[in-house]
Amino acid sequence: MTMSPAPPAAPAPRTAGPGAAPPADPRRAGRLGTFLRGRWLKTIPGRIRAHVVLCLAALVALLAVLTVATGNARDSVQTIGHDAGPQVVATGTLYFALSDMDAQVSNILLIGREHDLGIGYDESLRVYEQRRAEADAAAVQAAQLAGRDPALKRTVQEVLDGLGRYERLVGQAMQLDAQSNHAPGEPPGQVVDAYRQATDLMRLQLLPKAYNITLDSGARVRQSYETKRSAVLAGRAWVAVTGVVALLLLIATQLYLTRTFRRLLNPALALATLATIVLTAAGTGLLTAHAGHIRKAKEDGFDSILQLSRARAISHSAFADESRYLLDPGRADTYEQTYLDKSLSVIYPDLGDKPVNLENYYAGLEQKAAAYKPGEGAVPFLGFFGDEARTAGRGREADALGRTLEAYRAVQRNDARMRRLAASGDRAGAIDVRMGRTSGAIRDFDAFDAALGALTAVHQDAFDTAIKDADGGLRGWDAAPPAAAAVIALLIIAGVRPRLAEFR
């Protein structure tokens, strides 16, 4: 009998050598393959987890856009309300301070040895020193606003350098004036020549540059405002969109659980949905209100304050042109024309086909401004006050504007009376009207200045209120959205956790 050969022995299993990788877990590899092939979405737990991931992703997106939008809102109120906005308004003081400095010098030289005329020599000198300090402070703020703008920095430096030259020329004119001891309105030629150099420097170089500083700085604030407000409104739209997406995903999750587990309502998910609605509505409402507050601060506050500050500075400069008109007869026609130009920038009445001169201006002003009722009907004049009248509402603002217009008309009536006396050869009478203690011209101009200040205060109150409301609306919004998002996330997880536990 023949024996069959024995089958070959099976090879012995290889043992892993030192440092060799352990064998792969077949269960883990199976789960990874299932995930990559998307088979987990075919199971109920997988679909629930997918719903949770999408809801949480939408919630994170809502929190992100809300954080960015409120950050833009905070930047806008900081720029308009606390940083550049108030600084630009302060630079308007630069033009006013410079023009009033020159006005006080012209008054001092006009009164000569009669130190009691006008507001008095000592008071005029005190106001001059005060305005010089204000001009220095405003120039510093303008330099801060310039930032990295080389052109604006150069303009500010030119104003400061020119102010130093102006003060030296004024010192010479005052010294010659004191030595001459002249009668009112009769300065010697050397005093007039010295003052001409000073006032030409002021009128032709310093004041235009100061005016441009305010215009350029104001334009930068307006551009920043438009950019920031557009960002806030765009953020509002994104908050609404992401909020709606999050709500739709939460509702889809609720419906899926209701259909799958035959339960009417998941309380935790219902609370998460309600909280998302509240967060989205609160966010969009906040941004809408904030955009309104910033618009009011800019249009009813910043723009009007800046405009009225220019009107005040130009009015003071025009009032000083009356002194220059009497101080320097050789340039009387020039100062009369500059007075008219400045008056037209404040109020430009419709003169029809009549020539634009002072006589027609007086008549047109009385006709148009007297018939106008602030807050009612069309505005029959242009200029700074025309722009103000077109945006003026009823109530306190309309009352303040009405008083300002009436006071301005009184100032112009005094100017007409003074020029008629000067044209008739009665210079002493003209000087008495302009500088006398009993003529009323100075008192009427002070009343106009006070009325203009009251009108500016109305807009300052509107600005302050709008900025306060904007700041108050943002209070707490650093912590509230993350906290609300965390609560919503916990509610979502709490809502699906019991359902997932049923499959363990």
User: 168 lies in which domain range?
Assistant: 44-501
From CA 501, how far away is CA 162, in angstroms rounded? 82
The SS3 assignment for 350 reads coil
Report if residue 282 sits inside a domain: yes
Report if residue 185 sits inside a domain: yes
Cα separation values, 62 from 142, 280, 405, 483, Å: 40, 8, 52, 13
pTM, two decimal places: 0.79
List, for residues 397-447, the tens digit of each pLDDT value: 888 998 999 999 999 999 999 999 988 888 888 888 888 767 788 889 989
Report if residue 7 sits inside a domain: no
Report if residue 12 sits inside a domain: no
Asked whether the predicted pLDDT for residue 239 surpasses 80, the reply is: yes
Q: How many CB atoms lie within 10 A of CB 37?
A: 10
From CA 290, how far away is CA 310, in angstroms rounded? 29
From CA 66, how far away is CA 284, in angstroms rounded? 9
Report if residue 39 sits inside a domain: no
Half-sphere exposure of 99 (CA within 13 A, CB side): 25
User: What pLDDT, on the 0 to 100 scale, is given for residue 501?
Assistant: 67
Instruction: Give me the number of domains the chain comprises.
Output: 1
Asked whether the predicted pLDDT for residue 186 surpasses 60, the reply is: yes
Asked whether the predicted pLDDT for residue 258 surpasses 90, the reply is: no
User: What pLDDT, on the 0 to 100 scale, is given for residue 1?
Assistant: 42
User: What pLDDT, on the 0 to 100 scale, is given for residue 407?
Assistant: 93
- Show the tokens assigned to 397: 């603002």
Which has the minimum average pLDDT: 59-68, 88-97, 335-344, 402-411? Answer: 88-97
User: What pLDDT, on the 0 to 100 scale, is given for residue 2?
Assistant: 45
Question: Average pLDDT of the chain?
Answer: 83
List, for residues 295-304, the tens digit of each pLDDT value: 888 888 888 8
Q: Which of 163, 420, 198, 164 is nearest to 320 (CA)?
A: 198
**Tokens 């075919």, located at residue:** 42
User: What pLDDT, on the 0 to 100 scale, is given for residue 117?
Assistant: 77
DSSP result, 274-301: HHHHHHHHHHHHHHHHHHHHHHHIIIII
Which has the minimum average pLDDT: 3-17, 67-81, 82-96? Answer: 3-17
From CA 239, how far away is CA 201, in angstroms rounded? 56
Q: Are 374 and 402 in contact (CB under 8 A)?
A: yes
Query: Where residue 36 falls among pLDDT bands split at 50, 70, 90?
Result: very low
Report if residue 98 sits inside a domain: yes
Report if residue 9 sits inside a domain: no
List, for residues 304-335, the tens digit of each pLDDT value: 888 898 898 899 889 889 888 888 888 889 99
Q: Which of 106, 158, 157, 156 is nearest to 127 (CA)?
A: 106
Q: Are 370 and 407 in contact (CB under 8 A)?
A: no
User: What pLDDT, on the 0 to 100 scale, is given for residue 346?
Assistant: 93
Question: What is the arithmetic mean of pLDDT over 266-270?
Answer: 87
Dihedral in degrees, nearest 10, Cα atoms 440, 446, 450, 452: 100
Report if residue 3 sits inside a domain: no
Which DSSP symbol is given to 381?
E
Which DSSP symbol is given to 42?
G
